[in-house]
Structure 1
Amino acid sequence: MRKLLEQTGSTPTIKHESQEVGKSTQHESAQRQVCGSARYVDDMPEPANTKYAAIGISRATCGTISAINLEKVKASLGVIDVITAKDVPGHVDIAPVFDGDPVLADGEIKFSGQAVFAVLADSMINARRAALLGDIQLIETTPILDVDTALSHSSFVRPTHDMIAGNAGQALAAAENRISGQLSVGGQEHVYLEGQVSLAIPEEEDRMHIYTSSQHPSEVQKLVAEVLDVKLNRVVVDMRRMGGGFGGKETQAAQWACIAALLARRNNCAVKIRLPRQLDMIATGKRHPFENDYEVGFDDKGRIQCAKITVNGNCGHSADLSDAIVDRAMFHADNAYFLGESHIQGHRLKTNIVSHTAYRGFGGPQGMIMAEAIMDAIARKTGQDPLTTRLNNLYDNAERNTTPYGMKVENNILPDILEKLSQSSEYWQRREAITTFNQENPILKKGLALTPVKFGISFTAKHLNQAGALVHVYTDGSIQANHGGTEMGQGLHTKIAQITANEFGVSIDDVEVTSTRTDKVPNTSPTAASSGTDLNGKAVQNACIKIKQALAEFYASQCKAEPTEVVFTNNKVCLGEHSIPFVELVQQAYMNRVSLSANGFYKTPKIHYDRNTGKGRPFFYFAYGASVSEVTIDTLSGEYAVNRVDILHDVGASINPAIDKGQIEGGFIQGMGWLTSEDLRWNEKGHLTSNNLATYKIPAIGDTPEIFNVDLYDRPNAEDSIYHSKAVGEPPFMLAISVWCAIKDAISSLSDYQIDPQLDTPATPERVLQAVTTITQGTSND
């Protein structure tokens, strides 16, 4: 039971007394998804006269287009229309932030797989067959395909950025001990279950209705309007659910919606485009590969005194979101550790491959892994257990609590998390047993690692930290909520329904969360940065409070009491000794002309960051966690297995423990794939060769650890997030770094833990075997 509070600058702190919040409520679409009745874009009933689009791509890597012959395409069976960049009535460039992403190639080819023309036909098969017949003639130029070449040519998509705290160069010169190293960090394909797909339906005059699998409907609305050369209010984008996104549909879903809209407008018919899996992998961006290096100074106890870290992001041919992605890699290069005097530099390299884009963690993983590589290197140098080194370098709540970008690490619960997890996982006992095992087994070697996660929550672009919502209460007591976030399987709509039900004190069965639409909630931010529930949950709560306030004032006037004493609970509205069923009060309010609808809004407080100085508070709070992984490697083949994983993760006061645990488990496995098996390969001509699921290996059910323990760290968020919960989308991904560290630990045992092996990611069996061979040859030579 709680009192209704008037809306102030901060929404009320709410105890989890409702039967709907803090409960493991089933995902709102679970039964429909299992039964196959959950509707995705490709399942939409198609309007009469729907036609189908496909794209023709460049097989060359880079150069200037000298001629495009599309006569065979136009003559192909079933073809209705063919368009190139010159047929776009409005903007050709649909880049999300900085220029460089044409909807169709505009005189220049930037990467192998770039869309050059689009075909409209009477069937999907005919469109795709016709798209293969285009003759694109090119004056080819020499491509830049890797970071080293890009650096030597000063090829950047955006300027280099630095974060400086103190004088790292001077401190390194005076440091007691110094080490340096480098690490190649591989990219990652999104492999969403539902590929890129859009359906464009022309409406009256110049209006357009778009169904799309996108994490950012408002951006799709804007870009469709711009390519069609119409006002934004002429375009409506509707997004009910995605079959996965992981960042791959934050910016790069827009291109396909724009192409469908262009063809729909020209031919006055509905147009669907759906990329086949192999083309989807070739034509869309990945997680950025990075080439990083470090130099650190530390004392005899292994405590870092100073650090220089350079992160080199391979951005592909355009900026896309790379500026912010490399920023976040820099923000997280410290992970959980105080670096002392430091200099972190981030390069954004331009290469002639597909433009890389957002992916779960948004650059954070590529930075965070550097901190863990440094911890391992220091541990081997000092002879400490790696966990001891990590504990010695954690941020504290005293003097060592300021990040390289000047943000204080407050309410730091990591020391407690690591202490609890090391005990529950029996880390030290297992370390002793593993050391004995490795001494007794010449072929199989075990490794163990405990690694922490400190992940900043907020968009680093301040203006994106806002959300809107629209809530309606109907006269039968049912409630409809709409918000700007998108559902991609992560359970956002389920949590929003729980929040709505909790606010009104009703059953979740009385709440319907409708599809995300740009004509209901405008100017929305993407569902990204783990902010979906944080932002949209607060916006929905704000709308609910407005309606409750109106209902409370109406009811209190009848009872001649103060509205602040009204309580909404158990499908009733209570005021002292008085109570009334919620639905009855709603009906009375309607008859007395009380508004039963409200919009809500929320903007994240406290955040600010100055890129010119590299200082500020870019994050509202940090989400924390830690994982222990145990692995076994075969030193003859390089093969390995993940035997056991223990996780303790901080989600604040959980809104839905089952969904949160599912996100932690899924994020960990996806992160494990990034670090172990998902190996992106381009050949010497810049063609992606790992372009299907026969040549690109994601984790399968057999790769799941035999023992997989996941627990939630039960402590409410100290900041005023929605019900004091914490974001859970991205932080668990980086828990998988413990698997990589455990593999290194097993390899290091071959040197009696004296050598820190060089192990680039992904740590495929081939790379593991190479690292084993390097160490065994080195120790035998010694």
Structure 2
Amino acid sequence: MNKHTSDLRAETIIGGVHSSPRHDSAHKHVSGAAVYIDDITEPTGTLHAGLGLSTVAHGVLKSIDLSAVRAAPGVVTVLTHEDVPGVNDISPSYMNDDPVLAAGKVEFHGQPIFCVIAETREQARRAARLAKIEFEELPADIDIWDLDVSTHRQVVTPLTLKRGDAAAGLQSAPRRVKGRMRLGGQDHFYLEGQVSLAVPGEDDEVIVYCSTQGPSETQHMVAHALGVPSNAVTIEVRRMGGGFGGKETQANQCAAIAAIAAKKLKRAVKIRLDRDEDMVATGKRHDFAIDYDVGFDDEGRILAVDYTFALRAGFSADLSGPVGDRALFHCDNAYFFPHVHAKSAPLYTNTVSNTAFRGFGGPQGMVGAERVIDEVAFAVGKDPLEIRKLNFYDAMGVKGERNVTPYHQKVEDCIIQRIVAELEESADYAGRRQAISEFNATSRIVKRGIALTPVKFGISFTKTESNQAGALVHIYNDGSVHMNHGGTEMGQGLHLKVAQVVAEEFQIDLDRVKITATTTAKVPNTSPTAASSGADLNGMAAQNAARQIKDRLIAFAAESHQVPREQVVFLPNRVRIGDSEMPFSDLIKKAYMARVQLSAAGFYKTPKIHWDRKAGRGHAFYYYAYGAACSEVSIDTLTGEYVVERTDILHDTGRSLNKAIDIGQIEGGFIQGMGWLTTEELWWDGKGRLRTHAPSTYKIPLASDRPKIFNVALTDWSEAYEPTIHRSKAVGEPPLPLGLAVLHALSDAVASVADHKICPRLDAPATPERVLMAIERLKAAQKE
């Protein structure tokens, strides 16, 4: 098998890192062969659950008559809070403010009060509607817009960030603008809703097949509710049909209910919410009311900013604290503020508790930053892109002091200037800006707008202990590899990327690496697959495990062939030992015969990061991911309807592990961000009832809504500043706020009706109605 050295250099494995094999389950997704929780063959005798939900937003439970429910066909039992054997709480921070089933009172319309267990799902759901519940209704707070931030109840301690003296900076600034922005929330609208299948075992054991992003957290929550140790509960998930943060904490309730029923009845129990129930009873992206006060000079250089980010938390804490924190962490986006003061206000409301959503508050913070840029640009009469570039953090390698964030971390890897400059040229921003101006001057009804917006996104969990991961790698004696890690697959290609890392370490083709379901029985104490850290953390943990085995193999080969360790080299699908070579599988067989351990548990923890929340300072993020988008829109000034004509994106993924996967994530993230900021409107009525609870009333972007021209490119020169996995960068969340380009292109088009003299202050989502109202507002102001 000896080959010339030049031939060896030209030879590579199939599917290693920096290549683009297809998603491992892509063919299963499109053919329907992919197995989700609801596709698992149900054990004989499986029962089904249906929820009984509150019909008021806030009230005391005066009486609950479930006699008709229990007598309904097929009903086996009905669970209430009294049937929870452990603690009736699934709050992620153990604050005891988020019950499995309501006890004594309800705090939002749609809160689960009881659960019917029946022979079929249809029987359970029909029976749940027969309950007779009497409420003593209490006053309810629904919207946050008119709540007093200084006096209204907050669900967790808010965060304040400050650097410099914002009050003095504002007072002394040559120019100053104050304003307020309404920013809507977003439903996760995953294709697979919340679902769990619990199978009881002997003693206190139970296995729960659950669509969850956080198997270990779900394990602990189920154990907490059952009153058993965590080692009695196993959570398994092969894949999810989408998550986007909606299955980080929200999966816990269904898992706990199914497990409680399964252990009580000693039969398997499945619960699957339908779309309406899911949208009503589970949390969403937080909507915000953003107050800002900005001081700047005549050139448009920002001197001081004061922010308040009020967020609709809902009735319990859930993740509102860290979501509000991350909004503050991104209130600067890519801009340096010499003096800054920013505070969060997670306000209690009688609505479902809002939760994690792709970006986890970061996009909301960026919206605040970009509104400030718009205000300054209109005040000084300049193109917003000029103001953006004027206020960027110092470029990487440029010595200066404009590189400290509001949380006192230095930005040492800033490449936003180069990204924006390259996109500005490739998208022909200046030429199109001139063409749009000429078009608008002669077009009476249709107006066009363009915007180029940047993204600087911090990568790491701000909860320091979450920045760790484990993995388990086995090599069987035929040379095939089994890979398991703590991350979960929700369509984003995480399993594939981690498998590529393992294949690269052993220099074997990707098809020799078996990807297995995530389970708490193999890798304990996992962090949720969130914060864009899935590949960063789990890839490093899997690499660590593979290298442990590889080190043993090198030691064995060197000793058995009497050569130095340096002469043991892994080549594509084989190993060179001194002057000879053998297939990888042959080496494994020999190592097995020599009783070499061919299994390893890997571990990784992110270095450098630390965070002092009380002080509001620290090294919160390991590194930053960057990107920019340029979007052009056309609007009908008579109706507010609009289309996205073109979008160009240049995004930084470092040395991409898999370019095809990353480009798909960028395309999807942009569209999801665009949907959040344009068409996806959540609306509660005065009674606290969510009225946009189905595809008929809640509009996510369709294929027809995508930009007519859609160009996405990766930076081909970037690599991670820190030693991440193969110098790649996270790509899950950073692309979502690229959708800001569409919001600001719409704002630019609206501004044209008043000759760009007035800031449109276009709130989000910028639905056609809001666009039309903004147009009419500017027309009226122009007449005054």
**Normalised TM-score (structure 1):** 0.97
Is the contact made by 1:744 and 1:757 (CA closer than 8 Å) also made in structure 2?
Answer: yes
Distance 1:757 1:578 in 2: 73
Residue of structure 1 in register with 2:130 after alignment: 133
Q: Secondary structure at the match of 2:405?
A: coil
Q: Work out the CA distance in 2 between the residues paired with 1:616 and 1:565.
A: 45
Does structure 1 conserve the Cα–Cα contact (< 8 Å) formed by 2:219 and 2:230? yes
CA offset at residue 153 of structure 1?
4.8
State the 1:349 CA deviation: 0.4
User: Which shifted more, 533-542 or 388-397?
Assistant: 388-397
* Native 8 Å contact 2:12 2:572 kept in 1: no
Instruction: Give the whole-Å Cα distance in 2 for the aligned partners of 1:17 and 1:405.
Output: 44
Inter-partner Cα distance in structure 2 for 1:35 and 1:292: 45
* SS of the residue 2:735 aligns to: helix
The equivalences for 1:444-523 within 5 A come to: 444-523=446-525
Tell me whether 1:731 sits opposite 2:727 in the alignment.
no
Please show how residues 524-543 of structure 1 align to structure 2 within 5 Å.
524-543=526-545
Q: 2:761 aligns with which of 755, 758, 761?
A: 758
How far has the Cα of 1:626 moved from its partner?
0.2
Taking the TM superposition and a 5 Å limit, the aligned residue runs for 1:101-140 are: 101-140=98-137
- State the distance in 2 between where 1:74 and 1:344 align: 53
Q: Secondary structure at the match of 1:445?
A: strand
Contact 1:284 1:355 in 2 (8 A): yes
CA–CA separation in structure 1 for the residues paired with 2:729 and 2:569: 26
Instruction: State the alpha-carbon separation in 1 of the partners of residues 390 and 648 from structure 2.
Output: 22
Contact 1:653 1:723 (8 Å CA) reproduced? yes
Q: How big is each residue's C-alpha offset from its partner over 1:721-750, in whole Å with a ceiling of 9 and x where there is no partner?
A: 100000000000000001000000011111
* Offset of residue 151 of structure 1: 3.1
* Residue of structure 2 in register with 1:60 after alignment: 56
Question: SS of 2:667's equivalent?
Answer: helix
Of 664, 686, 708, the residue aligned with 1:706 is: 708
Do residues 71 (structure 1) and 74 (structure 2) align?
no
User: Over residues 193-216 of structure 1, what are the superposed CA-to-partner deviations in whole Å (9 max), with x where a residue is unaligned?
Assistant: 000000000011221011000001
1:181 CA displacement: 1.3
Single out whichever of 85-94 and 462-471 deviates more from structure 2.
Answer: 85-94
Q: Which runs of 5+ in 2 are unaligned?
A: 1-9
1:293-372 matched pairs, under 5 angstroms = 293-372=291-370
**Residue 222 of structure 1 corresponds to which residue in structure 2?**
220
Q: Are the equivalent residues in 1 in contact too, given 2:13–2:573 (CA < 8 A)?
A: no
Q: Deviations over 1:139-161 (max 9, x none)?
A: 21100112233637521101222
How do residues 239-318 of structure 1 correspond to structure 2 at under 5 angstroms? 239-318=237-316
Distance 1:388 1:576, change over 3 A: farther
Aligned to 1:409, the other structure's residue is in SS state: coil
Structure 1: which amino acid aligns with 2:554?
A
Worse overlay, 135-144 or 598-607 = 135-144
**Once the 2 structures are TM-superposed, how far is the Cα of residue 74 of structure 1 from its aligned partner?**
0.1
Alignment partner, residue 681 of structure 1: 683
What is the aligned counterpart of 2:41 among 23, 26, 45? Answer: 45
1:479-514 alpha-carbon deviations (Å, 9 max, x no partner):
010000000000001101111111100000000110
Paired letter, 1:524: T
Paired residues, number:
767
The Cα of 1:166 is off from its aligned counterpart by: 1.0
SS in 1 for 2:197: strand
Which residue of the other structure, out of 704, 723, 730, is the alignment partner of 1:720?
A: 723
The 3-state SS of whatever aligns with 1:285 is coil
After superposition, give the CA deviation of every residue in 1:426-482 in whole Å (9 maximum; x if it has no partner): 000111111111111111110000000000000010000000000000111110100
| 8 A Cα contact 1:80 1:122, kept in partner | yes
Whole-angstrom CA distance in 2 between matches of 1:698 and 1:16: 45
Q: CA deviation at 1:32?
A: 1.1
The structural deviation recorded for 1:567 is 2.0
Residue matched to 1:11: none
The residue type equivalent to 2:372 in the other structure is I
Closer/same/farther in 2, CA of residues 171 and 152 from structure 1, 3 Å limit: closer
Distance 1:663 1:51 in 2: 38
> RMSD of aligned C-alpha atoms?
1.2
Aligned residue for 1:117, secondary structure, equals: strand
The aligned amino acid for 1:30 is A
Write the distance in 2 (CA, Å) between the matches of 1:564 and 1:457: 36
CA distance in structure 2 between the aligned counterparts of 1:170 and 1:454, rounded to whole angstroms: 27
Kept in 2, the 8 Å contact 1:549–1:563? The answer is: no
Percent identical pairs in the alignment equals 53
TM-score for both structures, normalised by structure 2:
0.97
- In 2, Cα distance between equivalents of 1:384 and 1:268: 70
Equivalents in 2 of 1:573, 1:581: separation in Å?
6
Provide the secondary structure at the position in 2 that maps to 1:583.
helix
Q: Give the alignment of 1:9-28 within 5 angstroms.
A: 19=14, 20-28=16-24
**Unmatched 5+ stretches in structure 1:** 1-14
Moved more, 421-430 or 577-586: 577-586
Aligned to 1:641: 643
Partner of 1:596: 598
Partners of 2:640 and 2:771 within 8 A in 1: yes
User: Could you tell me whether the CA contact under 8 Å between 1:150 and 1:349 is conserved in 2?
Assistant: no
Q: Match for residue 30 of structure 2?
A: 34
Residue by residue, what CA displacement relative to the aligned partner does 1:636-689 show, whole Å, maximum 9, x if unpaired?
Answer: 110000000000000000000000000000000000000000000000010100
Query: 2:776: which partner in 1?
Result: 773
Letter in 2 for 1:118: C
- Equivalent position amino acid for 2:286 in 1: H
The answer to whether the 8 A contact 2:47-2:270 is kept is yes
Give the whole-Å Cα distance in 2 for the aligned partners of 1:561 and 1:99: 62
| Structure-1 separation of matches of 2:567 and 2:774 | 68
CA shift in 2, pair 1:150/1:563, >3 Å? farther
The CA distance in 1 between the partners of 2:468 and 2:13, in whole Å, is 27
| Secondary structure of the corresponding residue to residue 731 of structure 1 | coil
The Cα of 1:121 is off from its aligned counterpart by 0.4
Q: How does 1:157-172 map to 2 (within 5 A)?
A: 157-172=155-170
Question: Match for 1:190 among 188, 196, 202?
Answer: 188
The one-letter code of the counterpart of 2:81 is A
Find the residue that maps to 1:335 and give its secondary structure: coil
Aligned counterparts of 1:120 and 1:65: Cα–Cα separation in 2:
22
Residues 516-665 of structure 1: pairs in structure 2 closer than 5 A: 516-665=518-667
Is the contact made by 2:108 and 2:315 (CA closer than 8 Å) also made in structure 1?
A: yes
Q: 2:663–2:712: 8 Å Cα contact kept in structure 1? A: yes
Match of 2:390 in 1: 392
SS of structure 1 residue aligned to 2:436: helix
State the one-letter code of the partner of 2:625.
A
Task: Kindly state the Cα deviation for residue 16 of structure 1 after the two structures are TM-superposed.
Answer: 12
Q: Tell me the CA shift for residue 131 of structure 1.
A: 0.7
**Contact 1:144-1:150 at 8 Å conserved across structures:** no
Deviation of 1:376 (Å): 1.1
Is the 2:13–2:509 Cα contact (8 Å) retained in structure 1?
no
* SS state at 1:182 partner: strand
